[in-house]
Amino acid sequence: MRRDVFEGALAGFAKTLVLDEARPVVPLAELLRRETLDRLLLQVYGPELMPDQQPVLVSQWMKYYAMQLIPPVMVASLVHGVSWPLAVDQLSFALHERGFLDGVRFEGALFDASNSGDPFERFAPLLDNLQQVIDRLSAYGSVAPGVLWGNAGDYLETCLRELAAVSDVSLAPGYGLLRERLKPDGTRNPLFNAITYIEGNDGQSLRQRRSCCLSHRVEWVGRCEHCPLSR
């Protein structure tokens, strides 16, 4: 990895990168196999929840995935115009001892990527990756794709807000993924309005997800902070 990509105020966006070659990682293609997901979700959540609450657990797993992948990819593109190969067979993830995702390793080198102002062109590799992962998780966990796209959009919007606080780089391509109702081919953009801000009773702006992440179905997990069902 080029060391100048995440220097200074940008260092926090690299905290999920696995740079230690000795650290064990598991290929993403292996992580998405039914047998692997069964084992990991059981390890993380135990037999009390797995498999009875499988849709909820898959939604939580997608949050970890988005948390590891999206920040370094978005910042590398928006700040430096570079990216890594993002095909499913070119990513691996470290696992925490409890079993959840705890870091991403990009198996290819950084390269000069598209600097298009069209967000769907610029971030096509990321969107293709998310589509494949969400398709597999949705089928495995019997959870609506919109729930999983909502998780991705949540972390995308968080990443953009945090980047705005430390950089004056244009965020328009990133926000375009959240603000365009349709993709260039006329199909629905699954990230559209993943996060909105509404005025609360006290006049303060309240952050709200468009889709529920299902966490409220499990008592000890509870509602997420920006649950749309609580408004």
The predicted model scores a pTM of: 0.94
pLDDT at 95 over 70: yes
Contacts of 110 (CB under 8 A, 6+ apart): 1, 2, 5, 76, 82, 83, 84
**pLDDT at 204 (0 to 100):** 80
pLDDT at 231 over 60: no
| Count of domains for the chain | 1
**pLDDT at 226 (0 to 100):** 75
SS3 content of the chain, % helix, strand, coil (to 5): 50, 15, 35
pLDDT at 174 over 80: yes
pLDDT at 121 over 60: yes
Q: What is the CATH number of the domain that holds 145?
A: 1.10.510
Q: Pick 202 or 146 by higher pLDDT.
A: 146
- Percent of the chain with pLDDT strictly greater than 70: 96
pLDDT band at 1 (very low <50, low <70, confident <90, very high): low
Task: Classify residue 175 by burial, with Cβ atoms within 10 Å: 0-12, 13-18, 19+.
Answer: middle
Residue 49: DSSP 8-state: T
**pLDDT at 220 (0 to 100):** 58
CA distance linking residue 163 with residue 65, whole number of Å = 19
Q: What is the pLDDT of residues 15-56, one digit of tens each?
A: 999 999 999 999 999 999 999 999 999 999 999 999 999 999
Average pLDDT over residues 83-109: 96
CB 137 within 8 A of CB 106: no
Does any domain span residue 219? no
Range of the domain at 128: 14-193
Average pLDDT over residues 133-161: 97
Does any domain span residue 199? no
Does any domain span residue 8? no
Does any domain span residue 210? no
